[in-house]
Amino acid sequence: MTDDERERAWAAVHDAMAQMPGWAVGPCSYHGEVALWHVAAIDLRPRGRQAKREAITATGATEVGALKALVALLQARRTQ
């Protein structure tokens, strides 16, 4: 994976997030025990005291794969 691929993947995530005000994306993290990358987007809009925040988590064999999976999940959520 090149830096350019990583940059394009992050740009796609930020483009998808631009359509979802109040959402933020966390860093990618590698979980060696399962050999997968994880990344999550979280709805940070104010909620009631007992309400849980919505989160969308994606995984992939590579960092870019996890980011692409997150973009697909975010796009699917927007079309619901």
The dihedral of CA 33, 13, 74, 72: what is its sign?
Answer: negative
What distances in angstroms separate CA 4 from CA 8, 10, 23, 57, 67, one per listed residue? 6, 10, 25, 23, 14
Domain count of the fold of the chain? 1
* pLDDT value of position 46: 79
The reply to whether the predicted model has a pTM over 0.95 is: no
| Ranges of the chain whose pLDDT falls below 70 | none
**CATH (domain of 37):** 3.30.160
Domain that holds residue 53: 3-78
Q: Summarize pLDDT for 56-68 with one digit per residue, the tens.
A: 999 999 999 999 9
